[in-house]
A and B are shown apart, each in its own frame.
Chain A
């Protein structure tokens, strides 16, 4: 039982990190209707900036610079690339983000090379033990940070004028523009916020017990895609639920791997995708996604 509780809590913690990434993904989708396949590279960018600066600046300033850096990269992608597209087909824009992803990921993995970079976090490998359950401090920090950020974000989404503008733009871009919402700023803001959230997630994807920032980190970031999809691409609640579901599934599948050996090794990496496929079979628009209505 204690193993289960431990795995479950670890899963919740990882899930909240995935939820952070998925939230950024959903924010971009809501504000601009673009599916951002370059999200993993934004995450890598944030992590890389933090990793290179923490020696000189110390951890916290480096983290702030990393968040700002990823936000700037996100905003730059929006400003330099997405805004230049004059057509109306959003699936084409999704392919553009794939091109951007190829560019950014190639550059970052070339810089990282075969190294494993540490981000200089203050938690190290210390572990908190409560009764039979032991949890790494990094996992607790991840959960707390993710919960705080998500709450702050959802409050801002609901009550600030920025959030109202963004929801209005998602609801009906034309009406919003007529009412004085500057759509360019809304989508610029969405990309910047998504980049910042991804940078925070990058920190928690690379701390103990994972070795650090490496090429494969972008693959870990890909798990946020099933999280966003199975919750429903246009739903912030969906991103949270999806993230937690993916985190818990992955953690349990990894933890009970020894009892599932007939399915092969490395099941944890696969589990989120299997869950996603199963859910999409039953609900093609995800758990909380709105069914799209179309007029012919």
Chain B
């Protein structure tokens, strides 16, 4: 018996070490890397939060959503509206920025809730295409409600301030390293991502998570054994939109400006690509996929000179953005066909097997 226990215990211990090492590296990053990498990392964090959200919806509950970009937009613009002062023909409520961030997330959830009469009763492709409508409605509103969104030009994002600390470019020197907005936001992003990840993991591993999986695997059977299917589906939709809203707020803070073009259908497809590549239905899958999809264009842009076939935009070759789209498009196809379960499943074959054992 005791020998049988040694294996899992050792595995647990190595896991703890890996986590601790990873955590220390992530905490140390702002002291060593320049702004480019920090921003790339922040995009990846924001994307990871959004991807966790859509993975709860699409991966765990089996509801295809192509409208995730809409909720990101609601979060990003919601924050701008709540936090900015009015002026320049733009409406703003001038609330404290932390309150604005919380309200923006709540408004995203509300938007998801308003969609729930549809989300609760459509399935599969019908839901996917119905959520496509959200993208077009969103684009329409973003371009036309000028006093809220600033129309085509978008609007500036006021920096977040929390407990007297402002996440802007006023430099604070920590250990001889000047801390600008990217460095400060890095830590905020880490905390948010950790919180979101743990919460989602909690949801997935407890009663609601099992109910969600039951709905995905067999909706009617789930209903028969007492899962309130419609309510769960609406609730997951709301939760997922709140995650998207938070991702939107973080993205807006990193970009420092929101423009409507960004929140189009391409963004929605990117998020779907993330969860498929990383692994449907798991938190770590969403994070891995988000890092993969959002780092690719940045890496390719940075090293476009050194890479064959890739060249700077406008010079006739394949631009970095396009090259990365080829790569993740192909990755989606390849993962589904040859690697069901995504990158996470491949990276940790053994660990997943023990996890599955636990579940049974």
Contact B137 A270 (CB under 8 A): yes
* B133/A106 in contact, CB under 8 A: no
B336 CB contacts on chain A under 8 angstroms: 85, 92-93, 95-96, 99
Question: B118 contacts A277, CB within 8 Å?
Answer: yes
Cα A266 to Cα B137 with chains together (Å):
11
The answer to whether the Cβ of B117 comes within 8 Å of any Cβ in the partner chain is: yes
Give A3 to B325 CA distance when docked, in angstroms.
Answer: 44
**Docked-complex contact A94 and B128, CB < 8 angstroms:** yes
Which residues on B sit within 8 Å (CB–CB) of A281?
117-118
In the assembled complex, A143 has its CB within 8 A of some CB on chain B = no
Q: How many Å lie between the Cα of A229 and that of B125 in the bound state?
A: 9
Are A280 and B118 closer than 8 Å at their CB atoms? yes
- Determine which of A91, A110, A294 lies in contact with B64 in the assembled complex, contact meaning CB atoms within 8 Å: A91
The verdict on A102 contacting B220 (CB below 8 Å), with A233-B126, A277-B130 known, is no
Query: Could you mark each residue 29-65 of chain A with 1 if its beta carbon is under 8 Å from any beta carbon of chain B, else 0?
Result: 1000001010000000000000000000000000000
Taken together as a complex, chains A and B put the C-alpha atoms of A102 and B331 apart, in Å, by 11
Contact A110–B126 (Cβ < 8 Å): no
Contact of B333 among A35, A96, A110, A269 (CB under 8 A): A96
Inter-subunit contact A110/B322 (CB<8 Å): yes
Residues in chain B near residue A225, CB distance under 8 A: 129, 132
- Determine if B272 and A98 form an interchain contact, defined as CB atoms under 8 angstroms apart: yes
Asked if B234 is at the interface (CB within 8 A of a chain A CB), the reply is no
Question: At the interface, yes or no: A149 with Cβ under 8 Å from chain B?
Answer: no
Docked Cα-Cα span, A264 to B336, in Å, equals: 41
- Bin chain A's interface residue count: 35 or more
Which of B136, B220, B224, B318 has the most chain A CB atoms closer than 10 A to its own CB? B136
Which of B130, B145, B322, B337 touches A84 (beta carbons < 8 Å)? Answer: B337
Asked if B144 contacts A266 (CB within 8 A), the reply is yes
Q: Are A81 and B64 in contact (CB under 8 A)?
A: no
> B328: which of A84, A85, A102 is its contact (CB, 8 Å)?
A102
Contact between B337 and A229 (Cβ–Cβ < 8 Å)?
no
Which B residue sits closest to A29, measured CB to CB?
Answer: B125
Interface hub of A226, A285, A296 (most chain B Cβ within 10 A): A296
CB of A102 within 8 A of CB of B140, answer no
* Given A264-B143, A265-B144, A269-B140, residue A98 in contact with residue B269 (CB < 8 A): yes
* Distance from A162 Cβ to chain B, minimum over Cβ atoms (Å): 25
Give Cα distance in the complex from A107 to B325, angstroms: 9
- Residues 213-244 of B contacting A (Cβ, < 8 Å): 218-221, 224
Do the beta carbons of A286 and B333 come within 8 Å of each other? Answer: no
User: Within the complex, which residue of B137, B141, B318, B326 is in contact with A103, where a contact is CB–CB below 8 Å?
Assistant: B326
- Contacting A99 at CB < 8 Å: which of B62, B219, B329? B329
- Given A96-B337, A100-B333, A281-B117, does the pair A273, B133 have CB atoms closer than 8 Å? yes
User: Is the beta-carbon distance between B121 and A91 smaller than 8 angstroms?
Assistant: no
Which residues, 122 to 151 on B, are CB-close (under 8 Å) to A? 122-126, 128-130, 132-133, 136-137, 140-141, 143-145
CB distance from B278 to the nearest CB of A (A): 13
Residues of A whose CB lies within 8 Å of any CB of B are 29, 35, 37, 81, 84-85, 87, 91-96, 98-103, 106-107, 110, 219, 222, 225-226, 228-229, 233, 263-267, 269-270, 273-274, 276-277, 280-281, 284-286, 294, 296
17 interchain pairs (CB within 8 A)?
A85-B336, A85-B337, A94-B124, A95-B276, A98-B269, A98-B272, A99-B273, A233-B126, A264-B140, A266-B144, A274-B133, A277-B118, A277-B130, A284-B126, A286-B126, A294-B219, A294-B220
The 7 tightest CB contacts between A and B, nearest first, are A264-B144, A99-B332, A102-B329, A273-B133, A35-B125, A103-B329, A99-B333
| B contact set with A: CB distance below 8 Å | 62, 64, 117-118, 121-126, 128-130, 132-133, 136-137, 140-141, 143-145, 218-221, 224, 265, 269, 272-273, 276, 318-319, 322, 325-326, 328-333, 336-337, 340
